[in-house]
Amino acid sequence: MSLQENQGFNTRAVHAGQAFEPRTGAVVPPLHFSSTYAQDGIGNLRGGYEYGRGGNPTRDALQEQLAALELGTHAYSFSSGLAAEDALIRALTRPGDHIVLGNDAYGGTYRLISRVLGDWGIGNTPVDMANLDTVRSAVAANKTRFVWVETPSNPLMKITDIAALADIAHDAGALLVVDNTFASPYLQNPLALGADVVVHSTTKYIGGHSDVVGGAVVVKDAELAEKIGFVQFAVGAVSGPMDAFLTTRGLKTLGVRMDRHSENGQAVAEWLLERPEVEAVLYPGLPSHPGHELASKQMRSFGGMVSVQFKGGEAAARKVAESTSVFTLAESLGGIESLMNYPSEMTHASVKGTELAVPVNLLRLSCGIEDKEDLVADLEQAFSAIP
Ligand SMILES: *Cc1c(COP(=O)(O)O)cnc(C)c1O
């Protein structure tokens, strides 16, 4: 089928970049492993394909699908989320440029910007993105090239107004980059709200099955696209064909999975809210969450990520993390299986002792697509282990 612009998310997810193979009619486009392509005479390429780092049909199919779902014009797929971020930053910044990012940004993003790219002259200021006045003055204080936000943020689940942030960035001649990993393109489309660049760790909801590591950059501007595409080609941290294939397969079911993730996240958050052991539940689907109204406007629903803080401090959080059986204690998120993570020693260990450190009484839950009754029952038995 040919894809039309007004088609719904799920139709685009299933069909964008996924035309059947013309020779055999194979409904699923074949997985192309070839590292090189035959030329019909020197420089006479078939369909523009020359060498696997520069182009691969399986990767192109994923990139087309990603662009269609993020409402962008171009998407570039990489071997990891951090490889995508690195390519983006190297493509569009130069020594002396500055990045203003959320003070609860993903630890690996902060590590890349501060400890790798810092040595190449890229400055950074972490700020509370929910406080727009603070953002505005941090942007003005330096030669800011990027405002970089995650919303919902990881793991504090703060919600930031993407449209307002885009205005702040653009007024200062900067670009707004949104890490849309937590929401996924099904729940939120930052480019439509004014952002210039979307980055993803496709390892999480987009792949969705915890079986592939990958990343992507999506833009809606041809000039930015050309620069990012050049770094993808010239540096070469591309996704391999098998990774691209698995990511495409996951992305086709993103909508149905996210509906269930959101339903389960809401149920778990509401259950946690009633528990006496709990100090705070951080979930934008709760009316008590400070970002609830904003999230209702800029997101389709609230997703499967829930953070919880315990009155019993670090000991209680650690006990629960080590007492579940449906939730698996593991890094990462966004897969069909529920995961539990203790950020201060796991995903965010790299920012321990910095401004970005995560409270030690906090657990982050990635609610999978299992039955919500079983998730709640698992938490209930784990809570009974708290001393
Ligand atoms: C995991 C993650 C990343 C990094 O992606 P990798 O695929 O692990 O390299 C970046 N941002 C967020 C929000 C993440 O959760």
Q: Which CATH number is correct for 254-383, 3.90.1150.10, 3.30.420.40, 3.40.50.300, 3.20.20.80?
A: 3.90.1150.10
Would you state the pLDDT for residue 293?
A: 98
Looking at residue 87, its pLDDT comes to: 98
Spatial distance between the Cα atoms of 361 and 386, rounded to a whole number of angstroms: 13
The per-residue pLDDT for 5 is 63
Query: Along the 387 residues of the chain, how does pLDDT read in single tens digits?
Result: 445 567 999 999 999 999 999 999 999 999 999 999 999 999 999 999 999 999 999 999 999 999 999 999 999 999 999 999 999 999 999 999 999 999 988 889 999 999 999 999 999 999 999 899 999 999 999 999 999 999 999 899 999 999 999 999 999 999 999 999 999 999 999 999 999 999 999 999 999 999 999 999 999 999 999 999 999 999 999 999 999 999 999 999 999 999 999 999 999 999 999 999 999 999 999 999 999 999 999 999 999 999 999 999 999 999 999 999 999 999 999 999 999 999 999 988 877 887 778 899 999 999 999 999 999 999 999 999 998
Place of tokens 């970002």: 291
CATH topology for the 3-251 domain: Aspartate Aminotransferase; domain 2 (3.40.640)
Based on the residue annotation, tell me whether 53 is a catalytic residue of this protein. yes
Which residues make Cβ contacts (< 8 Å) with residue 25, sequence separation at least 6?
A: none
CA 99 to ligand 1 center in whole angstroms: 18
DSSP 181-213: TTTHHHH--GGGGT-SEEEEETTTTTT-SS---
- Tell me the two tokens of residue 186: 């099904």
The angle subtended at Cα 246 by Cα 240 and Cα 252, nearest 5°, is: 135
Residue ranges of the chain assigned to CATH 3.40.640.10:
3-251
Ligand 1 centroid distance, CA of 84 (Å):
10
Looking at residue 294, its amino acid is L
Q: Which of 179, 196, 243, 378 is catalytic?
A: 179
Q: What is the pTM of this model?
A: 0.96
**Does 318 participate in catalysis according to the annotation?**
no
Interhelix angle 222-235/81-92, nearest 10 degrees: 120
The DSSP output letter for 16 is T
For 21, phi and psi rounded to 5 degrees? Answer: -75, 125
Nearest CA, atom 7, ligand 1? 81
Q: How far apart are the first and last CA of the chain?
A: 59
Distance between CA atoms of 243 and 267, rounded to whole angstroms?
A: 33
In the chain, CATH 3.90.1150.10 sits at 254-383
> What residues contact residue 258 under an 8 Å CB cut-off, 6+ apart?
184, 186, 187, 205, 300, 301, 303, 304
Whole-number pLDDT of residue 1: 44
